[in-house]
Structure 1
Amino acid sequence: PGPVAPVPPPGPQPPKQTRPTPPAPPAGKQTKGAKPAGKPAKPAKKGRSKLVLLGGGVIALVGVAYGAGLLLNHSDVPKGTTVLGVDISGSRDEAVNKLEKAFGTRAATPLQLSVGGKQVELKPEKAGLTLDAQTTVRNAAGSDYNPVTVIGTLFGVERTADAVMPVDEEKLRDALQELAGSAGSITEATIKFDTGKAVAVPGKAGEGLDVDGSVDLVRKAFGALVGGGKAAPVELPVTTREPTINQAELDRAMKEFAEPAMASPATVKAGGKALPFGARSLPKILSMTAVDGRLVEKYDLEALKATYGNTFDGVMVTRGTGAKTAVTPEDVAGALGKALKGKTPAERIAVIDTNAG
């Protein structure tokens, strides 16, 4: 055995050597690699999760509402569609019927006008003023996929469509020209037919209807009448005007038509039947009207029919289409016009062609 290590004697032991504690780093600085002390961990963002859930719920609700709106809007004219305040939703036929029921009478009501202080009426149909129900409905029909509009129908939101009221300006101007001859202080030249003779009546200058300045006023008055049910009388502008028929035209009309017309009786024949027109009947039938600066003869068809009565009953006329119809006032007027211009007895007789085809 080897030597045994000596046991130290009892008594005080030397102190243990410990590693010195490093000095604390200055405030505000951190030792490299050390994690900052005292910084709390980030909490979970519960508010953001709630917003996401809420947004998803709103989108789902909007989708359900949009789908419900589409189901309600399956008709030709979507639910809630109105024209001039009247709901026309439904099928196209239903919409047209609703429009005609609501506005048909209004659209046919004569307009009350004033020309130089004289009250006159203007019928919309004659003046080319109409409410086009078919086009109005056609424009309003069709599905509207706008989400705002579709969802709005669920809450009674209206979808407004415009009423289509086309104007035939040519017919309107013609109607106003006719009013110009019957209103205002201007006197148009004409020829009057008295018993056994024709009398020339010269025209006089004066205030007459300003057609150009009246067109838009009449159009607006019609729109107000249809939309509101009534319209106040419209004062149309006037201007100083000369007669459209001058003395030279008056002399021509007298020589070429008026004087020959009243010179002697004129006879109309058809199917072996005949009727003379003379000094007593012609003044009820004949008149002259101004057309584009010329005097043109005009026939009162109602007075003409009353004059010939049943004279031509049973006489049939073959038309250009091959159809056969009874003699009409227009047939008699056409033949009478030729006879009135005749100068010889033979020329004063006109025959209605019963085989016009």
Structure 2
Amino acid sequence: MVHQQAAPVKKGRSKLVLLGVGVFVLFGVAYGAGLLMNHSEVPKGTTVLGVDIGGGSKEEAVTKLEAALGKRARTPLRLSVEGKEEKLAPDKAGLTLDSQETVREAAGSDYNPVSVIGSLFGGARPADPVIPVDEEKLGVALTDLAGVSGSANDGTIKFEPNKAVAVPGKSGKSLDVNRSMISVRDAYRAQVQTGDPAVVELPVAATEPTITKAELDRAMKEFAEPAMSGLVTIKAGPKQIDFGPARSLPQILSMKPVDGKLVPVYDRAAIDKLLDGVFDGIMITKGDGKKYQVSATDVAQAMQGALLGKTPAERTVAINLNGEG
């Protein structure tokens, strides 16, 4: 029987095995060292938008984040609508950088070997900022902005000395609120990230007046023309005061669009000024049973019926001081 000798193990293969074992051991040592050195609440190397918040407690991380990004997060946004620049405060628009929640999500142990070993050599562990958006608040802010920046005008009625004048509306452009919400949200995030409050051009849309010619005609016929047809007299106790179309009523009256209709508006400040204390000391009993000084609001309420009267008697109204009716 012929005995074959076993082939000798190649030295090269042994070296490879030893090298592999060595690398594994080094990896384990590095991983263990990384875990030992990185036992803080916020792991070492954690960054938010380039700001290093790692290696300490959550409170320390929040302080670092606020110091670096707080001013950016509170800086008003620069918005442009049809070339007209407006500023919008983030807090009024429901935009904020939530530093507490950002740190809370970034905190906690990270057992990813790449992150753990990378922290030994200054490796970064990026975390996303938490930037909540109050959609309702942002929508309201942009709707208000649309009201002052639009080029469309609704039809209305102006009250001038001895006459009411119908003013037709005109078409134009106004802020597209829904699309603008996306633009503003993205712009705020970019501002927090870069610190650059760049001007953001907001989208606009064509708009038409909500008050039609038919509604203008109705408001003129049913309210404006009767209101300006003569004096109205308001009485309270032994005192009375006249409001006329030449001077007083143009200061008091206006109309505003509400759901496609023009409704009367009474300027209580103007009424109070015109009263000039004529009803001072005259008290009215309200629904709660208490007595109050007759006010511009009481006069405005009494005036509503008087303005539609056709005769002097119909245009004279006494305020009920007993709280009845």
TM-score tier after normalising by the smaller chain length: 0.5 to 0.7
Q: Which amino acid aligns with 1:347?
A: V
Alpha-carbon RMSD across the aligned residues, in angstroms, is 5.1
Question: Aligned-pair distance for 1:341?
Answer: 1.1
Question: Aligned-pair distance for 1:200?
Answer: 1.9
Pick from 184, 190, 197: which aligns with 1:230? Answer: 197
For 1:319 and 1:87, how far apart are their aligned partners in 2? Answer: 64
Pick from 301, 312, 316: which aligns with 1:338? Answer: 301
Change (3 A) 1:38 1:199: closer
For 2:45 and 2:241, how far apart are their aligned partners in 1? Answer: 65
Pair 1:246-2:212 in alignment: yes
Q: Is the 8 A contact 1:332 1:352 kept in 2?
A: no
Bigger mean CA offset, 308-317 vs 193-202: 308-317
Change (3 A) 1:64 1:175: same
Q: Is the 8 A contact 2:156 2:166 kept in 1?
A: yes
Q: Which has the larger radius of gyration?
A: 1
> Which consecutive unaligned segments of at least 5 residues does structure 2 have?
307-313
Q: Is the 8 A contact 1:257 1:340 kept in 2?
A: no
For 1:125 and 1:38, how far apart are their aligned partners in 2? Answer: 80
Pair 1:106-2:76 in alignment: yes
Name the residue aligned to 1:51: 20
For 2:259 and 2:147, how far apart are their aligned partners in 1? Answer: 12
Alignment of 1:149-188 (within 5 A): 149=115, 155=122, 157=124, 158-168=126-136, 171=140, 174-175=143-144, 178-179=147-148, 182-184=150-152, 187-188=153-154
Q: Is the 8 A contact 2:74 2:89 kept in 1?
A: no
Name the residue aligned to 1:20: none
Change (3 A) 1:314 1:338: closer
> Which consecutive unaligned segments of at least 5 residues does structure 1 have?
1-31
Q: Which amino acid aligns with 2:74?
A: G
Q: Which amino acid aligns with 2:31?
A: V
Change (3 A) 1:350 1:222: farther
Q: Is the 8 A contact 1:340 1:348 kept in 2?
A: no
- Per-residue CA distance 1:228-281 (angstroms, 9 max, x = gap): 343336264443x54321222223323444345544357597xx9998766545
Structure 2 length as normaliser, TM-score? 0.64
Pair 1:36-2:4 in alignment: yes
Q: Is the 8 A contact 1:190 1:203 kept in 2?
A: yes
For 2:52 and 2:242, how far apart are their aligned partners in 1? Answer: 60
Bigger mean CA offset, 284-293 vs 214-223: 214-223
Q: Is the 8 A contact 1:190 1:288 kept in 2?
A: yes
Question: Aligned-pair distance for 1:316?
Answer: 12
Q: Is the 8 A contact 1:82 1:161 kept in 2?
A: yes
For 2:66 and 2:252, how far apart are their aligned partners in 1? Answer: 42
Name the residue aligned to 1:129: 93
Structure 1 length as normaliser, TM-score? 0.59
Name the residue aligned to 1:146: 110
Alignment of 1:180-219 (within 5 A): 182-184=150-152, 187-204=153-170, 206=171, 208-209=172-173, 213=176, 215-217=178-180, 219=182
For 2:322 and 2:95, how far apart are their aligned partners in 1? Answer: 41
Question: Aligned-pair distance for 1:37?
Answer: 5.8
Name the residue aligned to 1:119: 84
Name the residue aligned to 2:311: none
Count of aligned pairs = 296
For 1:125 and 1:334, how far apart are their aligned partners in 2? Answer: 37
- Per-residue CA distance 1:117-169 (angstroms, 9 max, x = gap): x636474679x7321344x6425523343334566566262323242233327
For 1:190 and 1:159, how far apart are their aligned partners in 2? Answer: 54
